[in-house]
Amino acid sequence: MRAEHINPFLNATINMFQQMFGLTPDALDPYVLEHSAKHRWEISGILGITGEARGLIAIRFHRALTLKLLQKSGITTTNPDDEDEMINSMVGELINIVAGNAVSAMSGQSIDISPPIIVQGENHRLSWPKSEPTICIPFRTPTGPFVVNVCIK
């Protein structure tokens, strides 16, 4: 996978967090994700990319961070069912914004994105295409860590 596929997602993620939450996440060193590796994420927003570039993109969080991000957005709820729904909506919107802005930055390519899917649960597994490496871009914020995974051909 080439840097021109990774950098737009890195930049889009940082810009989105600055604009939506007033946070500047620190990007740590990207690495190749082992498909069989265990993880610690509780919530994943995933979407597909089609066209001249094809693949999957995911943003992955701990539940505690999503609750803090909801608070920073001014959204509060006392009903646990409403809380889960708001988390799912927010994570779906976050991956849409990151992917949409990253794809826009990949100038000259005809690329479409699919609607997001949200997966919740400790140690849930995502099946990544084996034809290309999946790059994990870890981020750190004062309110907690998260990652963006990119697998594009």
In 3D space, the residue among 64, 85, 65 whose CA is nearest the CA of residue 17 turns out to be 65
Q: Look up the pTM and report it.
A: 0.91
Check: CB of residue 25 under 8 Å from CB of residue 141: yes
What is the number of other CB atoms lying within 10 angstroms of the CB of residue 58?
25
Instruction: Determine contact, residues 134/35, Cβ cutoff 8 Å.
Output: yes
**Segments making up each domain of the chain, as ranges:** 3-152
Taking the chain (153 residues) in consecutive chunks of 10 residues, what is each chunk's mean pLDDT?
A: 76 96 95 81 95 92 95 84 92 96 83 93 82 93 95 89
Q: What local confidence, expressed as pLDDT, does residue 91 receive?
A: 97
- Fold category of 3-152 in CATH: Chemotaxis protein chec (3.40.1550)
Residue where the block lists tokens 């608070």: 71
The pLDDT assigned to 30 comes to 93
